[in-house]
Protein backbone atom coordinates (compact mmCIF):
# COMPACT_ATOMS: atom_id res chain seq x y z
CA UNK A 1 0.00 0.00 0.00
CA UNK A 2 1.37 3.43 -0.93
CA UNK A 3 1.45 5.93 1.86
CA UNK A 4 1.73 9.53 0.85
CA UNK A 5 3.94 11.64 3.07
CA UNK A 6 4.39 15.40 2.96
CA UNK A 7 7.78 16.51 1.71
CA UNK A 8 8.15 18.44 4.95
CA UNK A 9 6.95 17.11 8.28
CA UNK A 10 4.20 19.22 9.85
CA UNK A 11 4.67 19.96 13.54
CA UNK A 12 1.43 20.50 15.50
CA UNK A 13 2.87 23.83 16.66
CA UNK A 14 2.56 25.09 13.08
CA UNK A 15 -1.15 24.25 13.06
CA UNK A 16 -1.69 25.80 16.48
CA UNK A 17 0.21 28.95 15.50
CA UNK A 18 -1.94 29.37 12.39
CA UNK A 19 -5.10 28.77 14.41
CA UNK A 20 -4.38 31.32 17.12
CA UNK A 21 -3.35 33.84 14.48
CA UNK A 22 -6.61 33.23 12.60
CA UNK A 23 -8.61 33.65 15.81
CA UNK A 24 -6.68 36.75 16.86
CA UNK A 25 -5.55 35.22 20.16
CA UNK A 26 -2.20 36.35 21.52
CA UNK A 27 0.35 33.83 22.74
CA UNK A 28 0.24 35.52 26.14
CA UNK A 29 -3.53 35.13 26.39
CA UNK A 30 -3.40 31.46 25.35
CA UNK A 31 -0.55 30.78 27.78
CA UNK A 32 -2.53 32.36 30.62
CA UNK A 33 -5.73 30.54 29.64
CA UNK A 34 -4.05 27.12 29.54
CA UNK A 35 -1.62 27.61 32.42
CA UNK A 36 1.29 26.85 30.10
CA UNK A 37 4.27 29.16 30.44
CA UNK A 38 4.69 31.68 27.64
CA UNK A 39 8.16 30.28 26.94
CA UNK A 40 6.89 26.69 26.61
CA UNK A 41 4.00 27.78 24.39
CA UNK A 42 6.35 29.80 22.20
CA UNK A 43 8.69 26.81 21.86
CA UNK A 44 5.79 24.56 20.82
CA UNK A 45 4.44 27.10 18.33
CA UNK A 46 7.91 27.58 16.83
CA UNK A 47 8.48 23.81 16.58
CA UNK A 48 11.33 23.72 19.10
CA UNK A 49 9.46 21.54 21.58
CA UNK A 50 7.17 18.54 21.07
CA UNK A 51 3.54 18.59 22.02
CA UNK A 52 2.73 16.28 24.95
CA UNK A 53 -0.55 14.55 25.65
CA UNK A 54 -1.26 16.97 28.47
CA UNK A 55 -0.53 20.09 26.44
CA UNK A 56 -2.67 18.72 23.61
CA UNK A 57 -5.53 18.30 26.07
CA UNK A 58 -5.03 21.85 27.36
CA UNK A 59 -5.17 23.20 23.80
CA UNK A 60 -8.28 21.11 23.14
CA UNK A 61 -9.96 22.70 26.18
CA UNK A 62 -8.95 26.21 25.10
CA UNK A 63 -9.35 25.97 21.32
CA UNK A 64 -11.69 22.98 20.74
CA UNK A 65 -9.08 21.32 18.52
CA UNK A 66 -9.25 17.58 19.25
CA UNK A 67 -6.25 16.47 21.33
CA UNK A 68 -6.05 13.17 19.47
CA UNK A 69 -5.64 15.03 16.16
CA UNK A 70 -2.81 17.10 17.60
CA UNK A 71 -1.11 14.01 19.03
CA UNK A 72 -1.42 12.20 15.68
CA UNK A 73 0.25 15.19 14.02
CA UNK A 74 3.07 15.04 16.60
CA UNK A 75 3.48 11.28 16.10
CA UNK A 76 3.52 11.62 12.31
CA UNK A 77 6.04 14.47 12.64
CA UNK A 78 8.28 12.37 14.91
CA UNK A 79 8.13 9.37 12.57
CA UNK A 80 8.90 11.44 9.49
CA UNK A 81 11.83 13.21 11.16
CA UNK A 82 13.22 9.87 12.37
CA UNK A 83 12.82 8.27 8.93
CA UNK A 84 14.79 11.14 7.36
CA UNK A 85 17.72 10.56 9.73
CA UNK A 86 20.30 8.76 7.60
CA UNK A 87 22.29 7.22 10.47
CA UNK A 88 19.11 5.97 12.12
CA UNK A 89 17.90 4.50 8.81
CA UNK A 90 21.21 2.64 8.47
CA UNK A 91 20.82 1.30 12.00
CA UNK A 92 17.31 0.08 11.19
CA UNK A 93 18.56 -1.63 8.03
CA UNK A 94 21.20 -3.53 10.03
CA UNK A 95 18.62 -4.64 12.57
CA UNK A 96 16.29 -5.82 9.81
CA UNK A 97 19.09 -7.83 8.19
CA UNK A 98 19.84 -9.60 11.49
CA UNK A 99 16.14 -10.18 12.17
CA UNK A 100 15.66 -11.69 8.69
CA UNK A 101 18.31 -14.31 9.46
CA UNK A 102 16.79 -15.45 12.75
Decide if pLDDT at 8 tops 90: no
Whether residue 74 lies inside any domain: the answer is: yes
Whether residue 84 lies inside any domain: the answer is: yes
Q: How many domains does the chain have?
A: 1
Whether residue 2 lies inside any domain: the answer is: no
Whether residue 7 lies inside any domain: the answer is: no
Burial class (CB in 10 A: 0-12, 13-18, 19+), 73: buried
pLDDT at 3: 66
Q: What is the pLDDT of residues 21-35, one digit of tens each?
A: 999 999 999 999 999
Domain with 78 in it: what CATH number? 1.10.260.40
Q: What is the pLDDT of residues 53-79, one digit of tens each?
A: 999 999 999 999 999 999 999 999 999
The whole domain housing 88 covers 12-100
Amino acid sequence: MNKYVCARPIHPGEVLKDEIKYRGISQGKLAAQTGVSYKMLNHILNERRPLTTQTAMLFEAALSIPADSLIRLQTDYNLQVASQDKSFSERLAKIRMVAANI
